[in-house]
Amino acid sequence: MDKFNTGLPELPGFGAANKALTEGWQRALSGLSGMALAPEAVLAAQKQYLLDATELWNRLAAGPDAKIEPPKADRRFAGEAWAENPAAALSAQLYALNARTMLSLADAVQGDEKTRERVRFAVQQFIDATAPSNVLALNPEALRKAVDTQGQSLAAGVQHLLHDLRQGHLSQTDESVFEVGRNLATTPGTVVFENAVCQLIEYAPTTEKVRKTPLLIVPPCINKYYILDLQPENSFVRHAVAAGHRVFLVSWVNADESLAETTWDDYVEQGVIGSIEAVRSISKQSQINTLGFCVGGTLLTTGLAVYAARGEKPCKSMTLLTSFLDFSDTGILDLFVDEQAVALREMTIGKRGLLKGRELAATFSFLRPNELVWNYVVGNYLKGETPPAFDLLYWNSDSTNLPGPMYCWYLRNTYLENNLKKPGKAVVCGERVDLGKLDMPVFLYASREDHIVPWESAYESVNLLPGPKTFVLGASGHIAGVVNPPAKKKRSHWTNAHLVPSAQDWLAEATEEPGSWWPGWLDWLDAQAGALVAAPAQAGNSRYPALEPAPGRYARVRHPN
């Protein structure tokens, strides 16, 4: 491996910038030489590299009429400017050649599967970062725009860069367009309960009658709750209210230093259990319907397991959207978790501290760097473009801090040790958690292209929860699969009433149905929600009075970076 050489030709007029990029590739390749690589795989990669490089060089040497096309399948190089500029087309082809070789070598690394996946992830990050499209001198589209605008695009790009440096994160949308409470999170409601970790919103009915059993929604505590209440046309909350359900929702705090010692137990006891007690009191119902989304589903299920350990059953039904209960396979996120990493977190913020929301946001963005990072680097800075207004990406930038002790408990007991699935292993609020005691009807939803909660892992809840279960698989990813209003008539979903142990076996027998999964869920929820009764005239009650209009103070807080 030490003798592996890229063999990149010195090309007339190719420029110092590309030479530097080529040298960077060579350094990265030599960095792999210190690893244990399968010799036959290295030889195969070297042979293929030399064949492809020779073919490219022969095409270049064919004469002035020779034409090299950029790799059109890669949308970063699909613009006309790349095809019309021979040097740029060659740069893109060399980049693609080196990328293929790097990934081949990453696949040749010998070791355990986690190490191999980490190497491949790191190599892919390097590949994505060093694309010639990310370099002004090598991007013919950006250069053409600079000429056409007489440098105005470059000036605008500098202004965008300075703006993003001041705000502390890369702009993925035009954030000036949106404001929480004005054109986001606008479903009418009232905050009726609050404590250190959350506020509870009761939404105003829009129908004369509502279902007797109310619905409590527990969203993730990473980012704000309004992913479920973006704008009227795509609001999950508004849709449930319009269907005649009495809806309550937890709005988690954006933690500051005053909450630096707050624990997972506090989030469960004060957030989940506190909110359930408030909804039961206000609705005068001993049992309520519940819904948890992502980590909100993990929190909700943990809280209900605490109730069960105390001999109580306040939940008539539970819906889990893209939620982990079994953390055996956490997909790409597993690359970031091992004993050493968790122990380091525990040493630094496990007793007191905050996990900054920006750190989590950056991690999630770099899981899909071309779509969520480099695409905007090119557009915002090299081309001087203002990204289009997109409500979901505004929400994505509105991250929340988490208390260090709470986060560290979650990290160790779920991603690292998978304790929630082990009866009696995890202790929460002084009670031993046993998911086998949760025998209420459950609706489980997963998204087929979810890279945060792989759908097969979400399906494992079928094997953990003993009560009646319905599982639905939606198209698209972690967020877009969930936020799929029926009126848009987009995507599809799969159903199969026969819940077998294997996720893939379930899918093999499933039926694909067009459109959103929301109507099917509402039909299921109607069956759990009882008869129609007169809608309440006002929010809250004497014990839980109206405090302020929705979305409430907690949803509006944006901490400085």
Q: Do the domain assignments include residue 394?
A: no
Q: List alpha helices for 293-356, DSSP H.
A: 295-309, 339-349
Q: What is the pLDDT of residue 167?
A: 87
Of 24, 44, 215, 6, nearest in space to 132 by CA:
24
Q: Is residue 381 part of a domain?
A: no
Note whether 544 and 435 are same-domain residues.
yes
CB proximity list for 482: less than 8 A, separation 6 or greater: 227, 236, 293, 321, 322, 445, 447, 474
State whether 308 and 198 are in the same domain: yes
DSSP string for 463-487: HH--S-EEEEEESS-TTTTTS--GG
> In this structure, is residue 396 part of a structural domain?
no
- Pair 202, 135 in one domain: no
Do 102 and 238 reside in the same domain of the chain? Answer: no
Q: What's residue 3's pLDDT?
A: 37
**Which pTM was predicted?**
0.90
Residues 311 and 423 placed together within one structural domain of the fold: yes
Q: Which comes out higher in pLDDT, residue 324 or 37?
A: 324
195 and 116 share a domain? no
Q: Reduced to 3 DSSP states, what percent helix, strand and coil does the chain have, rounded to the nearest 5?
A: 50, 15, 40
pLDDT band at 65 (very low <50, low <70, confident <90, very high): low
Is 182 a domain residue? no
Residue type, 81: A
> 295 and 207 in one domain?
yes
Let me know if 221 is a catalytic residue. no
The Cα–Cα gap between 543 and 200 comes to 13
Mean pLDDT of 144-166: 95
Q: Could you tell me if 247 and 211 are in contact, meaning their C-beta atoms sit under 8 angstroms apart?
A: no
pLDDT tens, 74-127? 999 999 999 999 889 999 999 999 999 999 999 888 888 888 899 999 999 999
Q: How many CB atoms lie within 10 A of CB 484?
A: 23
Do residues 222 and 115 share a domain?
no
Q: What pLDDT, on a 0 to 100 scale, did the predictor assign at position 441?
A: 98
In a domain, 352, yes or no: no
Handedness of CA 360, 362, 363, 369 (dihedral sign): positive
d(C-alpha 154, C-alpha 161), whole Å: 10
Report the pLDDT value the prediction gives residue 37, as an integer from 0 to 100.
Answer: 81
Residue 443: strand pairing partners: 319, 470
Residue 478 burial (C-beta neighbours within 10 Å; 0-12, 13-18, 19+): buried
Tell me the average pLDDT across 418-431.
97
Q: Which of 143, 171, 200 is the last residue of a domain?
A: 143
> Is pLDDT above 60 for 226?
yes
Residue 30 reports pLDDT greater than 60: no
- pLDDT score of 323: 98
Strands 442-447 and 315-321: parallel
Mean pLDDT is lowest, of 7-11, 255-259, 487-491, for: 7-11
Which candidate, 130, 163, 164, places its Cα nearest to that of 21? 130
Q: Which two tokens stand for residue 300?
A: 């909700």
Strand partners, 538: none
CATH of the domain at 307: 3.40.50.1820
Percent of the chain's residues with pLDDT above 90: 80
Per-residue confidence band for 6, with pLDDT thresholds at 50, 70 and 90: very low
Task: Give me the number of domains the chain comprises.
Answer: 2
The active-site residue out of 198, 221, 294, 315 is 294
The three-state secondary structure class of 492 is strand
Query: Do both 105 and 232 map to the same domain?
Result: no
d(C-alpha 492, C-alpha 488), whole Å: 11
Residue 281 has pLDDT above 60, yes or no: yes
What's the distance, Cα to Cα, between the start and end of the chain in Å?
A: 44
C-alpha distances in Å from residue 234, one per residue of 231, 388, 451, 482: 6, 18, 22, 10
Q: How far is CA 311 from CA 305, 332, 436, in A?
A: 10, 38, 13
Q: Quick check: is 158 in a domain?
A: no
Q: How many CB atoms lie within 10 A of CB 66?
A: 11
271 in the same domain as 202:
yes
pLDDT band at residue 561, thresholds of 50, 70 and 90? Answer: low
pLDDT, mean over the chain: 91
- Evaluate if residue 424 carries a pLDDT over 80: yes
Task: For residues 275-284, give the mean pLDDT.
Answer: 98
pLDDT value at residue 349:
97
| Model pLDDT, residue 358 | 87
**Which of 143, 159, 179 is the endpoint of a domain?**
143
Instruction: Give me the domain span that covers residue 225.
Output: 189-333+419-556
Radius of gyration for the alpha carbons in the chain, expressed in angstroms and rounded = 26
Q: Examine residue 108 and state whether it is found in any structural domain, yes or no.
A: yes
Question: What phi-psi label fits residue 540: left (phi over 0), alpha (psi between -120 and 50 degrees) or beta?
Answer: left
CA nearest 172: which of 395, 480, 452?
A: 395
pLDDT at residue 239 greater than cutoff 90: yes
Q: Please give the pLDDT value at position 19.
A: 47
Q: Residue 388 falls within a domain, yes or no? A: no
Among 108, 143, 178, the domain-final residue is: 143
State the DSSP code for 534: E
Confidence of residue 35 (pLDDT cuts 50, 70, 90): low
The reply to whether 317 and 427 lie within a common domain is: yes
DSSP 8-class letter at 412: I
Does the pLDDT value for residue 150 go beyond 90? yes
Cis previous bond, 551, omega within 30: yes
Number of helices (H), then strands (E), in the chain: 22, 17
Q: Both 139 and 248 in a single domain?
A: no
